[in-house]
Chains A and B, each alone.
Chain A
Amino acid sequence: MSDKTTSSNKSILNDAGTRALIFQVVLLAVVVFVGYYLFSNLQANLADQGISTGFAFLNQPAGFPVLIHLIDYTEADTYGRAFVVALINTVVISLMGIVLATIIGVVMGLARLSNNWLVARLATVYVETLRNIPLLLQMFFWYFAVLATLPIPKNSIIFGDFFLNKRGIYSPNPITQDGFGIVVAGFILSIIASIALIVWAKKRQTRTGLWFPAYWSSLGLIIVISFLALAVSGFPIEFDLPQKSRFNVTGGMVLPPEFVAVLVALSTYTGAFIAEIVRAGIMSVNWGQTEAARSLGLKDSLTQRLIVLPQALRVIIPPLTSQFLNLAKNSSLGAAIAYPELVAVVMGTTLNQTGQAIENIGLCMLVYGTLSLTISIFMNWYNKKMSLTER
């Protein structure tokens, strides 16, 4: 075959590289054109409707109340502050939900593997029921069917210093007095000391093989030092107890029903998914591993902690991450029962009042994107830490 025939067969259009280039240029052109077309329509529409653009509205007074706020907020505050309040509400419910869902998930996952037939069956029923019912329905159930049917404040259900009624759960509210700084300092000090202790114990064990009960002693350390600090500073905590007057309950710390409903629904729903992940993770560890650990003479608790759990975690962490992400995203459903989180405040009230759809929806998507990214970065770090280091 001569050079001539090869070159004559090679049309530029038949070259894979050229084709790919042409295709990509066309694709890019289409994306840019569609983007430009939508953007120009948008500007025309906004100008027609007299909607201003930009984020200046964040400095204007909001004029609407936000019922649950962890930082000071009044109607006179700005949209920007309302946004921060909503952001805090979303982050708080997501983090608390993640912690609770993990606890529920681990307990239920272990219960499904229990050798007690009844316990395993009950856990299965729990998982299969909650997983297959939409989260929004569960939230409605907790809010409209359970919490809304609680008695009026006058007839509150009372457990010691806890009151339960239509307006929420009232509990004693710890109020710190002067000198609480010493307690905080003592607590932080004890945590630093325990970390140092654990690191030292680990190093010594690698070097000499000698074992030291680092976890138990650091727990003791934290309790003793914190208690000492409390005693030295003269117990600078007072409890604001909820008081029941004739028609109402005042004082104390109130968990509003919206918050409770969202938290319970989110954590039980996600907990059911986590239970399945935990069960699958533990079942993925070969039974031979357990047998090998036993034949080495490890007792059951050590077998679980040193052999089964680290291997199971490798399987558990990646799907667990996506459940955490789902939970954070699902916290947006709180908007449907008036829990003032991001979607309710920003895409609901603020959008309705200012009409600036692009900015508000963009802001929301940005926050959820950042939240998702943060969770996945943290979980990827943890996954890396837990993953098998092959030599």
Chain B
Amino acid sequence: MAIEFKPSPSLPPPVNSVGAVAWVRQNLLSSPLNIFLTLFSFYILFLLIPPVVEWGIVTATFSGASKADCTGAGACWAFIGVYFEQFMYGLYPSEETWRINLALILLVVLVGTFVVKTVNKLYLSIGIVVVYPIIAYFLFAGGVFGLEVVETSLWGGLFLTTLLGVVGIVASFPLGVLLALGRQSSMPIAKSVCIVFIETIRAVPLITILFMASVMIPLFLPEGMNFNKLLRVLIGITLFSAAYMAEVIRGGLQAIPKGQYEAADAMGLTYWQSMVLVILPQALKLVIPGIVNTFIGLFKDTTLVYIVGMFDLLGRIQAATHDSSWLGTTIEGYAFAGFVYWLACFGMSRYSMRIERKLETGHKRN
């Protein structure tokens, strides 16, 4: 009769090496230094969290119409409620704000359709890039179909911030592509024009460009010809981000193997054909994360228009916190602004990381 080998069942692992206890020992208390760091971190959390929670939630006032309603010792969120419309739309007339909302909904629908891929993408992208801006412009500015005219000086808040960011990035894209191609080109004059432009813009802060746009552009134009401040600032922002965009795109162009250029030449394609049909589609796909990052930077940088006297989200908040009937609401205002910007930028950076992961295998051989 065969002897059956029967191992005794394994003992359970020691209590210290599994579960929560092991996790705490490994991650928080593995060495004297670690114990000290853990205690120190807890101390910092203890210093920060209870006061913030108490101020922001426990003793805060959430609704009300004036400063007098804020009787608690904590934050006065009623301030945000009262000024919310200004923070979103600036001084845009209240009864006309539906126009901004409509334009936004239209954009979301268009982009949504684009992502879902049900219709002809070419027509749709022409619609988004060419037709939509015209519709949006007339919706915002008015003056046609009986829409009331709204001066651009009334535009403000998050609406202006988004407008500056989106127009800046969309308008700077073609310019950036041209500059990047110019910088890569073998024609010495074209190349040096592009390099001088890109490097000059990148060497100076955005604020000098904005000052230039708001103070110097009128001096360079012939007598009697002048355009609106918003347009001047938009030109400044577009030129600024075009220089950065060009560098991002150049990175993509350099990442395309030389064989692709040679293959395009061998097919007898002209320069523009080989760029538009072969090189750019590959290069641009590679730099989508870089473009999103440029957009995040630009979105944060739009706050600088406040310095040249335009009231974007931060500008409106700055104005509201200096309102004498709401004194002492500075932190609430900044907390709200910080939250909005953080949400937008963090969301976009996560999105760009997702794309990066999705496209990661692009040029690696499997």
Contact = CB atoms under 8 A, between A and B. Distances in A.
Interface of A: 20, 23-24, 27-28, 31, 38, 41-42, 44-46, 48, 114-119, 122, 128-129, 131-137, 140-141, 144-145, 148-149, 329-330, 332-333, 335-336, 343, 347, 351, 357-358, 361, 364-365, 368-369, 372-373
Contact of A137 (B331, B334, B346, B349): B334
Contacts, number: 153
A31 B211 CA distance: 23
B314 A136 contact: yes
A116 B28 contact: yes
A133 B42 contact: no
A33 B114 CA distance: 42
A133 B222 contact: no
Given A44-B223, A361-B211, A373-B203, A116 B303 contact: no
Nearest to A138: B338
Contact of B321 (A41, A128, A144): A144
B222 A28 contact: no
A119 B41 contact: yes
Contact of B341 (A20, A44, A132, A364): A132
Contacts of A128: 346
A365 B211 CA distance: 11
Given A129-B342, A137-B341, A28 B303 contact: no
A329 B204 contact: yes
B112 to A, nearest CB: 25
Contacts of A333: 205, 207, 304, 307
12 contacts: A41-B222, A116-B38, A116-B41, A118-B41, A137-B334, A141-B331, A144-B321, A144-B334, A329-B204, A347-B211, A351-B211, A358-B219
Interface stretch (B93-101, B169-177, B183-191, B356-364): B183-191
A368 B220 contact: no
B361 to A, nearest CB: 19
Interface string B284-325: 000000000000100011011011000000100010010000
A357 B204 CA distance: 16
Interface in B107-129: none
A361 B212 contact: yes
Given A116-B37, A118-B38, A358 B216 contact: yes
Contact of A20 (B187, B216, B220, B222): B187
B80 to A, nearest CB: 15
Contacts of B63: none
Contacts of B338: 133, 137, 141
A357 B216 contact: yes
A115 B330 contact: no
Contacts of A132: 296, 300, 341-342, 345-346, 349
Nearest to A361: B212
B153 interface: no
Contacts of A144: 321, 330, 334
Contacts of A44: 222-223
B180 interface: no
B65 to A, nearest CB: 24
Contacts of A358: 216, 219
Contacts of A122: 41, 44-45
Contact of A46 (B44, B219, B300): B219
A115 B203 CA distance: 39
B31 to A, nearest CB: 9
Contact of B27 (A117, A148, A361, A369): A117
A358 B338 CA distance: 36
Interface residues of B, number: 54
Contacts of A361: 208, 211-212, 215-216
A137 B220 CA distance: 33
B204 A365 contact: yes
Given A361-B212, A368-B203, A140 B314 contact: yes
A136 B307 CA distance: 10
A135 B300 contact: yes
B223 A133 contact: no
Contacts of B66: none
Contact of B28 (A48, A118, A129, A365): A118
Contacts of A27: 189-190, 193
Interface centre among B188, B321, B334, B341 (most CB of A within 10 A): B334
Interface in B25-45: 27-28, 30, 34, 37-38, 41-42, 44-45
Given A115-B27, A119-B37, A136-B314, A329 B219 contact: no
Contacts of B41: 116, 118-119, 122
Nearest to A136: B303
Contacts of B307: 136, 333, 335-336
Nearest to B39: A118
Contact of B34 (A116, A137, A335): A116
A42 B300 CA distance: 33
B337 interface: yes
B208 A364 contact: yes
B16 interface: no
Contact of B306 (A23, A136, A357): A136
A41 B220 contact: yes
B260 interface: no
B221 interface: yes
Given A42-B219, A141-B334, A361-B216, A335 B207 contact: yes
Contacts of A115: 27, 30, 34
